Structure 1
């Protein structure tokens, strides 16, 4: 009798898993097609193309937000076949995810939009973050790291802001889920001016694209350190790096011995 019950449990589990896999595939396809419409209107020249592009972006954002809330399991769905320009970053604990995409509404300046999906207990929530206004370009989140300390969990989101073909800004922003809400202003980084929720640096894109320059910001989960290149006052790269290490309370700049 126990064997039969175990067999039935396995069958039910398989059926549920298979059903979600099918649903997940449909959701991914719909999101894919929605962003394809954004790309289509971005490359179409007509009187109504700009309005259609804005509408396509709004539709995409609302679609992702709706799916994120209605189908909680999407927070860990693989979504491996989404088109270039639409990135999904997921925390290791499966409780936080960021969908980020290029709205393709600018020229050399890029405007990005994001959907933040997070889970508290059995409920899943989602927030749609659109550009704040004309000429204001937000970040493109493309990596998400998890830091656990003193029974708290922090999410370190690596981002890129593109002001022009040469003017770029990279950084790392700290998020947390507390008091039943997503906190995008978690101040965990200590600098000379006090505690902040992010680190960032601006730079000029190198003229030589083949130049062996690491322009990225990195996080090492083992040593709990943030590392990024030192940028000179003229926006050019140096050969030095800046490191911030977590000391149990916050990240603080590491002072190297002379």
Structure 2
């Protein structure tokens, strides 16, 4: 009897594994076509590579949204082939929130990214894309619980040119089966905010021709402290840091 149960479980697990691998193959094939046309160097005047990029981008986005919404197990699947092809996938420590983001290949020195947000609400796994053009690539998600409610503090970066970048902390929460992209958790002089960001211009006179200190955002999970660089009014990136620590309700400046 036990051997029969084990065999059934093995067959079911194997079937699941093959199913999700088949989905990844479909996704990767569509993603490959987008990348192919983005790097197309042909001279055939009848071919519009830019239109092909946009067309396959739509196909891929819809397919990824469909797969991640229909298959709840995808929220914990690695999608190694997609990552190898340029997809950025970040997942929260609790496994309940994931962001897929990728370059849509339509920009020049300014890069544009598409995103799918996948999240778990109790036993359901849902996916959605937020409206509007977003140039941010999401790099990290950290979980913070405030007054019994779970918040997700994300880090993203926007590449505005070869020398100009924008770095941002943005807060999300999952509420009643919906993703709230306006959740507030950062206390500043201007009020309780949903996001906090800073711009780095390496081409500015203040930074040009000299070594620029590390200007990335850092997070200390143990003490729940975000650290960002102090940037002067003239754009100079300094060695000094600005820190925000979670004080039980909000992140507050130290």
TM-score, length of structure 2 as denominator length: 0.89
Unmatched segments (≥5 aa) in structure 1 = none
Question: Are positions 1:195 and 2:198 aligned together?
Answer: no
Unmatched segments (≥5 aa) in structure 2 = none
**Aligned pairs for 1:113-132 within 5 A:** 113-129=114-130, 131-132=132-133
Q: Contact between 2:230 and 2:240, CA under 8 Å: does it hold in 1?
A: yes
Cα offset, 1:53, TM superposition: 0.9
Residue 111 of structure 2 corresponds to 110
- 3-state SS of 1:129 partner: coil
Q: Contact between 2:121 and 2:176, CA under 8 Å: does it hold in 1?
A: no
Residue 54 of structure 2 corresponds to 54
User: Does the C-alpha gap of structure 1 residues 212 and 166 become closer, same or farther in structure 2, counting only changes over 3 Å?
Assistant: closer
- 3-state SS of 1:81 partner: helix
Cα offset, 1:92, TM superposition: 1.6
Aligned mates of 1:34, 1:130 — CA distance in 2 = 22
Worse-matched range after superposition: 225-234 or 19-28: 19-28
Question: Are positions 1:23 and 2:23 aligned together?
Answer: no
Aligned mates of 2:220, 2:9 — CA distance in 1 = 37
**C-alpha root-mean-square deviation of aligned residues, in Å?**
2.2
User: Does the C-alpha gap of structure 1 residues 194 and 80 become closer, same or farther in structure 2, counting only changes over 3 Å?
Assistant: same
- 3-state SS of 2:192 partner: strand
Cα offset, 1:85, TM superposition: 2.8
User: Does the C-alpha gap of structure 1 residues 26 and 234 become closer, same or farther in structure 2, counting only changes over 3 Å?
Assistant: farther
Cα offset, 1:172, TM superposition: 1.3
Q: Contact between 1:116 and 1:126, CA under 8 Å: does it hold in 2?
A: yes
Cα offset, 1:84, TM superposition: 4.2
Worse-matched range after superposition: 155-164 or 78-87: 78-87
Task: Report how many aligned residue pairs link the two structures.
Answer: 246
TM-score, length of structure 1 as denominator length: 0.87
- 3-state SS of 1:202 partner: strand
Cα offset, 1:234, TM superposition: 2.5
User: Does the C-alpha gap of structure 1 residues 10 and 91 become closer, same or farther in structure 2, counting only changes over 3 Å?
Assistant: farther
Question: Are positions 1:14 and 2:15 aligned together?
Answer: no
Worse-matched range after superposition: 151-160 or 96-105: 151-160
User: Does the C-alpha gap of structure 1 residues 195 and 50 become closer, same or farther in structure 2, counting only changes over 3 Å?
Assistant: same
